[in-house]
Chains A and B, each alone.
Chain A
Amino acid sequence: MSARDRILGRLRAAGPQAAGMTDLERRIDAHFDARRAEAPAAADVLARRMQAALQAVRAQAWCARAGEWPAQLARRLSEAGVSRILVDAVSAEGRALRAALPAGVEALAFERPLEEWKAELFGTVDAGFTVARSGIAATGTLVLAPDAATPRTVSLVPPLHIALVYAHTLHADLHQALHAERWQDGMPANLVLATGPSKTSDIQQTLAFGAHGPRWTWVVIVTDAKEPV
């Protein structure tokens, strides 16, 4: 008898299986809906809340208008001494950033499978640029759905992670994000909720930033753009 049969057999032998609770989703929704109703928020309030929450976890976050962020980012990158940045050449945002980068900052596209250039990615890339699918204002969380142009390691391996998030995509909390985006209808192979730079308190409960993931996180919250076409 296989381990699978033995385990399932033992569980089923424990007695007739009860049906699931029928009102569980309603109870969960009621709880989180009521919490949100206490502090309803328009997009600009969510943007400010997002910014504050990000700053609380030591991310640099600022609000910018659609036309101005590429130049702002380019300047900051120069000042930070970034020389190689992973930025896609496919999305409108990626192209806008590439166009604004000064001569000293090399834009790199993720074009080869990871296994062909692992050591290079770990050793030579200073920053990675991603456009977040959305954000969660309550906690300053970026919802990252990696794709072919911007794979998972872009927000993970380089020491600096830069994310752009549109204010109109911000959700109040995780519960709202999951439902508004209908996660239950289909998940990407990897969906990442990232909140600030990596950190640890594993040594004597002392908080230290820059554990294994990015050491620094910059987030641009674009406030005036409408739903992209």
Chain B
Amino acid sequence: MTTSPLQFVPPQDFHARSRAALDDPQLRQSFRGAMTFLQDKRRSQFGDEDELQRLRDLGEAVRKNALAQLPALLERLEATLTAAGAKVHWAATPEEANAIIHGIATDRGARRIVKGKSMASEEIELNHYLEQRGVACLESDMGEYIVQLAGEKPSHIVMPAIHKTRADIGALFTEHIPGTEYTEDVDQLIQTGRRTLRNAFVEADIGLSGVNFAAADTGTLWLVENEGNGRLSTTVPDVHIAIMGIEKVVEKLEHIVPLATLLTRSATGQAITTYFNLISGPRRAGELDGPRELHLVLLDNGRTQAYTDEELRSTLQCIRCGACMNHCPVYGRIGGHAYGTTYPGPIGAILSPHLLGLESTADLATASSLCGACGDVCPVRIPIPQLLVRLRTEANRNPDAEVAHPLRGQGAKYSRGERLVWRFWSGAFARPGVYRLFRWAATRLRVLAPNEQLGWTKYRTPLKPAPRSLADLLRDKGQL
């Protein structure tokens, strides 16, 4: 079956959704509070600036080292995990990944899947795909569960329900969980979630999780979490399916040490999370629990496109900490849903074009003032601002231009009119006579400047040439 996964919100409506988000004071307050909180938490973990910079060097080196030998490492990971009794699957597209997971469920007559947190599964719209085919998927991460109950998608990759207030969640639980009285007490809300989901772990036929890091040498899947739902999902059901993007593998288990500390400190400002769950195979002979089957789905979904281009390859260094969005002045004001993509914020803007094509995502790279905060906090030193500029260039490139590594949707924002204006401008600038004429005309005819100037006047006052040019003014002062 090759049904396209449903895009719940089309990313191309970015401008309209941003406007709506900016006009929603409650949403803006939620994000403002959350951003300040997460920034402070992270800062408290990196008191030693020198240590931070050296760790970032190591994190970058580990990721670059892994990407430099990616195909060999993927084969090695496959070999070590297979030797341990796991089954490794490869999916080039979301459709293939969904079909693989559905196939595993069908073969075992599975009706219920309990999920630990997985952004890759969000990316392929797995829940939707399986539910259409009669397999129930229940999110068990508290944030993901809240978002699922509300029929929404995560607005942050680490804190999925960051846009919701405790009052929203109290009302949501009262409405959807029978016998629940309204409360805004967070402890009570969490205990309600715990009680409600507990049975799901017992009854699930399959547990599905993401993967934070994978070590090729030992065949270890390294999962990071606080709630214990990840451990329950990967331990209690008889079958565990893990899904990960192909870029998550590193060469050696010991290389994960700097990445793990960078991840927890950058993401939530924790020295370590409650659990690092290291899985190196299914239940072994003599063991009394743990899944008897372990499957790993390796997902491409456009990552190979980023890999092909040397500059864009650094996108794949990402360890999904979310620090770039936590520090982004644009994300902090419009929130995650405005982007309309699985991955919002700066990392979403540079990753989504590879996943979805530039046709629907070209606007995302413009959602940045290029202030550089994302690049400054990135624990693996991805040059995010540079990549934003690069993607703007690709979106404005002539669609017919032949380049070494064409991107899907090249030239999505290409405009002949704009190109003509730039050609005139560079031509005028290169010829003093033409330029003088232009200057003379612009200053004399300034009253003719229109009040509506396309995109410019959407948010800004109209441009109007000055009555006299700079050159004229300087000449009057005898300085030219």
Answer whether A119 and B274 are a contact pair too, CB < 8 Å, given A17-B71, A27-B58, A204-B166. no
Q: How far is the CB of B68 from chain A (nearest CB, A)?
A: 4
What number of B residues sit within 8 Å (CB to CB) of A?
99
Q: Quick one: which of B3-42 are within 8 Å of A by CB? A: 30, 33-34, 37-38
Asked if residues B146 and A184 are in contact (CB atoms below 8 Å), the reply is: no
Asked if residues B282 and A32 are in contact (CB atoms below 8 Å), the reply is: no
Asked if residues A213 and B141 are in contact (CB atoms below 8 Å), the reply is: no
A183: chain B residues within 8 A (beta carbon) = 218, 253-254
B71: chain A residues within 8 A (beta carbon) = 8, 11-12, 17
A204: chain B residues within 8 A (beta carbon) = 30, 33-34, 164-166, 186
Report Cα–Cα, A29/B125, bound state, in Å.
40
B51: chain A residues within 8 A (beta carbon) = 35
Asked if residues B166 and A206 are in contact (CB atoms below 8 Å), the reply is: yes
Q: Mark A57-93, 1 if CB is under 8 A from B, else 0.
A: 1000000000000000000000000000000000000
Report Cα–Cα, A118/B198, bound state, in Å.
11
Answer whether A188 and B280 are a contact pair too, CB < 8 Å, given A20-B251, A203-B169, A205-B37. yes
Q: Which of B146, B220, B229 meets A211, CB within 8 Å? A: B229
Q: Looking at the complex, which of A40-48, A162-170, A190-198 is the stretch in contact with chain B?
A: A190-198
Q: How far is the CB of B288 from chain A (nearest CB, A)?
A: 5
A10: chain B residues within 8 A (beta carbon) = 300, 304, 307-308
Report Cα–Cα, A213/B55, bound state, in Å.
31
Asked if residues A25 and B289 are in contact (CB atoms below 8 Å), the reply is: no
Q: Which of B62, B164, B289 meets A153, CB within 8 Å? A: B289
Asked if residues A187 and B280 are in contact (CB atoms below 8 Å), the reply is: yes
Asked if residues B142 and A200 are in contact (CB atoms below 8 Å), the reply is: yes
Report Cα–Cα, A20/B238, bound state, in Å.
37
Asked if residues B254 and A28 are in contact (CB atoms below 8 Å), the reply is: yes
B398: chain A residues within 8 A (beta carbon) = none
B261: chain A residues within 8 A (beta carbon) = 174
Answer whether A113 and B298 are a contact pair too, CB < 8 Å, given A8-B74, A28-B255, A118-B236. no
Asked if residues B308 and A190 are in contact (CB atoms below 8 Å), the reply is: no
Q: Which of B186, B198, B304 meets A206, CB within 8 Å? A: B186
Report Cα–Cα, A211/B34, bound state, in Å.
20
Kindly state whether residue B419 has any CB partner on chain A within 8 Å: no
Report Cα–Cα, A187/B218, bound state, in Å.
7
Q: Mark B244-283, 1 if CB is under 8 A from A, else 0.
A: 0010000111110110110000001001111111111111
Answer whether A19 and B288 are a contact pair too, CB < 8 Å, given A11-B304, A175-B257. no
**Residue ID in chain B nearest A138 by CB atoms:** B271
Q: Looking at the complex, which of B188-196, B343-351, B407-415 is the stretch in contact with chain A?
A: B188-196
Q: Which of B33, B161, B253 meets A187, CB within 8 Å? A: B253
Q: Looking at the complex, which of B84-92, B130-138, B381-389, B450-458 is the stretch in contact with chain A?
A: B84-92
A21: chain B residues within 8 A (beta carbon) = 61, 64-65, 68
Report Cα–Cα, A202/B62, bound state, in Å.
30
B363: chain A residues within 8 A (beta carbon) = none
A141: chain B residues within 8 A (beta carbon) = 272, 276
A148: chain B residues within 8 A (beta carbon) = 286-288
Kindly state whether residue A229 has any CB partner on chain B within 8 Å: no
A17-B68, A151-B287, A194-B275 given. 5 additional CB < 8 A pairs?
A: A6-B92, A17-B72, A112-B288, A205-B162, A211-B190
